[in-house]
Amino acid sequence: MAEDSGETKPKVEQAFQIVVKDQTGGEVHFKVKPTTKFGKIMASYAANKSVDQKSIKFIFDGSRLHENQTPEGVGMESDDCIDAMIEQMGGGKW
């Protein structure tokens, strides 16, 4: 019989999937841990799309996401969707 040594096993974080959707309806799927910082996801998405990460804003439930936030911190669940939008500057005089 195996004896219980009294040691507790570390909690295993359950990875889940999130979807980043662009303005044209294109989707990129990511499998992440709840504690993965969005900065890592944002950098990967920008590299995948060959665009500058700073030119994209990421929106979840109407709020802009920041690099230091995590899916767990904003209440995301598996298969939730993040909107990725090209941030446009302008409106100045010609």
Q: Distance between CA atoms of 8 and 46, rounded to whole angstroms?
A: 39
The three-point CA angle 76-11-59 to 5° equals: 15
CATH of 16-86, one of 3.40.50.300, 3.90.1300.10, 1.10.8.50, 3.10.20.90: 3.10.20.90
Copy the structure tokens of residue 7.
């040691």
The pTM for the full model equals 0.77
Q: Distance between CA atoms of 9 and 32, rounded to whole angstroms?
A: 21
Question: For residue range 32-90, what is the model confidence (pLDDT) as tens digits?
Answer: 999 999 999 999 999 999 999 999 999 999 999 999 999 999 999 999 999 999 877 66
